[in-house]
Amino acid sequence: MTDGAAGHRPDVPDGPTSWERVSSEHGAPLILFRPRYDRVRHPRTGAILTRLVLETPDWVNVVARTPAGRIVVVRQYRFGSGEVTIEIPGGVVDPGEAPLETAERELREETGYTSARWTDLGSVQPNPAFHDNRCHHFLAEGAIQTHAQALDAGEDIVVGTLTTDEVRDLITRGEITHSLVITALSRVLDLRLTAHRD
Amino acid sequence: MTDGAAGHRPDVPDGPTSWERVSSEHGAPLILFRPRYDRVRHPRTGAILTRLVLETPDWVNVVARTPAGRIVVVRQYRFGSGEVTIEIPGGVVDPGEAPLETAERELREETGYTSARWTDLGSVQPNPAFHDNRCHHFLAEGAIQTHAQALDAGEDIVVGTLTTDEVRDLITRGEITHSLVITALSRVLDLRLTAHRD
């Protein structure tokens, strides 16, 4: 018996089950996250272990393509890596907001682009080992710059566009590096390294 | 002027620069992370803002292929999502360890598979907004099960193999969801959704 999204596969034996959560305790909030310490019971040994969960709101990001097929990108300084990165637009789902609404809002606020043609590209788990959230990917086609940027006081973002070949090249050369940007783009671009194409 | 990996592109204007770090203070350790609060200066407004960084060791994961070309996967309960997932093997780079050594060790410990043919598939940043680490992706070809599993006391992992078509199908149907598993696999598999293939 298993639970969660991963159903039975003949060549991946069932076996691991959910671990019983014996108790939970929250730590002090961390700006972006709410830490939770779960005491869980190992299903085979019965041992009680402590595991950290960072309760995290859902995120979204957007592959926005111009009428010419170019991809809208943002350049900004990232505090974790201490580097200026090239990414696609995205952000945090506000309470009560649907992921598509967040996607439309973040695209408009960060870049000034809007689109009438939106497609849900599905979602991923940023890291199910310790995050409880998802990142929802969207495609916005025929995107054009209709608004001025509306940046938060804590943002400093420059907008540009790249061809799909340029985006692929930046990913394979390791210059576009954000994992969630890559998972979104992998749904519309073939990102295989040249040496590993069949 | 920019710094970091993202060099000048004609269609992505330069502009954002590094933010000066005015001071830094560590919070209490969080099992997996060391929180750091940076006071940073907005480069345009001069405002001082607090930003959270989770100092995090590097991670690795491994696309291990059997002589028949099947992909080695692991099934385990994940504490963040509260679900049993299907992923590729991986883990945390220990102090003093090279990422390739970690990859060889984690593949052997989690699955019992070993390989003589390793290829570096490059690395990604799990989330440069708040992590300072990288996840290094490796390909192990001709992998065969030569050892018994050697699980940590806190692990409960079942091993299996899937064809590349099965893996692609599980990703597009949202049953393989871990972003870093997908970024690794995107380097060897074409993961475009059917509707968006050119």
DSSP string, A42-103: -TTT--EEEEEEEE---EEEEEEB-TTS-EEEEEEEETTTTEEEEE--EEEPPTT--HHHHH
Long-range contacts of B100-103 (CB under 8 A, 24+ apart): B100/B136, B100/B138, B102/B60, B102/B136, B103/B60, B103/B61, B103/B62, B103/B136, B103/B138, B103/B140
Residue A3 has pLDDT above 80, yes or no: no
Nearest CA in chain A to B24: A79
pLDDT score of A14: 73
pTM: 0.93
Alpha carbon distances (Å) from A104 to A61, A86, A121, A143, A178: 10, 20, 14, 11, 21
pLDDT category, B116, cuts 50, 70, 90?
A: very high
Is A122 within 8 Å of B158 when comparing Cβ atoms?
no
So what's the ipTM on this one? 0.93
Nearest to B127 among A30, A157, A178 (CB): A178
Residue A134 has pLDDT above 80, yes or no: yes
pLDDT score of B8: 56
pLDDT score of A89: 98
Is B3 within 8 Å of A52 when comparing Cβ atoms?
no
User: Chain-centre distance of CA A139, in angstroms?
Assistant: 13
Is B174 within 8 Å of A123 when comparing Cβ atoms?
yes
Strands A48-55 and A34-41: antiparallel
Q: Using a CB-CB distance cutoff of 8 angstroms, which residues of chain A are in contact with residue B85?
A: 4-6, 125, 128
Residue B3 has pLDDT above 60, yes or no: no
Q: Average pLDDT over chain B, rounded to whole?
A: 92
Nearest to B5 among A7, A121, A174 (CB): A174
Q: How far is B20 from chain A (nearest CA, A)?
A: 10
Q: Using a CB-CB distance cutoff of 8 angstroms, which residues of chain B are in contact with residue A157?
A: 16
pLDDT score of B122: 97
